[in-house]
Amino acid sequence: MMSNRFTDALFQLIRSLEKAEKRHFKLYIKRSSAKEDLKIIQLFDALDKMPDYDEKILLKKLPSITKPQLANLKTHLYKQLLASLRLVKNAENIDLQLSEQLDYARLLYNKGLKLQSLKILEKVKEVAKANHKFNYLAQVISLEKKIETLHITRSTLEKTEVLTIEATNISGHIDRVTKLSNLALLLYRWYVKNGHARNEQDETGIKEFFTNNLPSNPETITDFYERLYLYQSYCWYAFIRQDFLMYYRYSRKWIDLFDAEPFMITVETGHYVKGMHNLLNAHFDLRNYSEFETTLRKFEAFAKTPAATLHDNFRIHTFVYINNARINQHLMLGTFRQGLSLVRYIEEKQDEYALYIDRHRVLVFNYKIATLYFGSEEYDTSIDYLQKIINGPIDLRIDLQCYARLLHLIAHYELGNFDLIEYLIKSVYRFMAKMENLTVIEEAMFKFLRNSFKVSPRKLKPELEKFLDTIIQFEKSRFETRAFAYLDIISWVESKVYNRSVSSIIQEKVSKSKRSEG
């Protein structure tokens, strides 16, 4: 039933509207009394009341509208909704304001009022420069040059020279921003598809791609957007390679950029939110317990500000990233059972935001929730969440697909489902080998699980100790630690060797670490 929601763009748009936006649309459309406009209000009301999109039911509710008319009316309603939203959101968005002023300048120019047009363009230029909006600056200067070239405006020679210099500088800036944003996007895409670098081949490929696409002199970059995309590129590059210290340094630079120009938080809220998410991830990966707590509190406080609650996008992203961080904090501290208190709220919000949350986020939540249940020794429920990943498509996050299967196997081992385990070992091993996702850790894991069938429970402890000795030496090895980033196998094996819970093992490590920090 849920899939119906995604079949119709107009229905999606109506579902995304807030009460104030719906009210504004009604007032906006009623100013016109055309028959067609009254029909689109009927269509709007009918769609607004539908839980899911169904064209047959819709036509029954609207007997005055025939099926051939419906497509045209839907197109008309969609355009009118966007026009209404533009009016209501204009004051909130610098891009919409600049776009509107540019439109006014073009209208005045087309009316022959060239000097009035140039006056508006001067104001637009000031606002665009103040907000680092170089794409708009390029459009302003393009129109200014057109007016100066085609008409006698009595502008000074000095002004026309300045225009040509500005045009050249902006062109260079836009070119650098395009290259850097492309680099950041392609690195992020690589991560979403593959996860962390699996081996030397991945590492070499990413390194070559990164260095070939990096500007020759990144240290000379001073503009906000150029630096933003440069830091993002370094972030993804470091994260893919599991260079968590570099990842932290560039996540910090990303947020420092906004802290130095706080007004840019309202201009580029989405990038700020993403930066906070990356900074929290970096603290998690480095086990910076106190910095994690401080950053999370700062992020939670930001989530209540007008900038964060202005748009659906920002509300949804802050929800996703803050709750991802809250789960990470419980995983990091070994407080799995307390972490389970988040699950109901997260799932209710996921249902509420079902139209907007992408599959990648759902996949990550399912894996992290499964890990909370595993750490709480609720293995059956952990398996339920892992099945959602295992039975879904495998076009995203190959790494999570692999570790979901491995955690699923270990959960069955904990439950003593030995009739299943022999089959699962072969199946999971084949899957991970096919995906080129086997490190020394996983090889050792499969070897231990196979051998555990052959020994009596009395002889199992020496096998576990041998397994622990094998994997603990790889704790600092970069390619092998990928396994530990998804699954704290060392703490799990230690819990078996010392006959204690995984949470108590992790909590003891946290206490030791905090004592050594203090």
Q: Are 505 and 511 in contact (CB under 8 A)?
A: no
CB proximity list for 392: less than 8 A, separation 6 or greater: 359, 363
CA distance 496 to 462: 11
d(CA 20, CA 113): 37
* Unique residue bearing structure tokens 């944003």: 181
DSSP codes of every residue in 332-347 = HHT-HHHHGGGHHHHH
Ranges 36-40, 379-383, 473-477, most confident = 379-383
Name the one residue in this structure whose structure tokens are 């997260």.
346
Question: Is residue 242 predicted with pLDDT exceeding 60?
Answer: yes
User: For all residues of the chain together, what is the average pLDDT?
Assistant: 86
Phi, psi angles (nearest 5°) of residue 492: -65, -45
Q: Say yes or no to pLDDT of 6 above 60.
A: no
DSSP 418-470: HHHHHHHHHHHHHHHHHTT---HHHHHHHHHHHHHTTS-HHHHHHHHHHHHHH
Q: Please tell me whether residue 236 adopts helix, strand or coil conformation.
A: helix
- pTM for the predicted model, two decimal places: 0.77
Instruction: Tell me the residue ranges of DSSP E strands in 29-68.
Output: none
What single-letter DSSP state applies at residue 355?
Answer: T
SS3 for 109? helix
* Model confidence pLDDT, tens digit, residues 449-496: 888 877 776 778 888 888 888 888 877 665 555 566 677 888 998 998
Six-digit token string for 119: 């006056």
Number of residues assigned to the chain: 518
> Which tokens hold the place of 280?
């929290």
Q: How confident is the model at residue 277 (pLDDT cuts 50, 70, 90)?
A: very high
pLDDT at 210 over 80: yes
Cα dihedral 97, 102, 106, 111 sign: positive
Cα-only R_g, the chain = 28
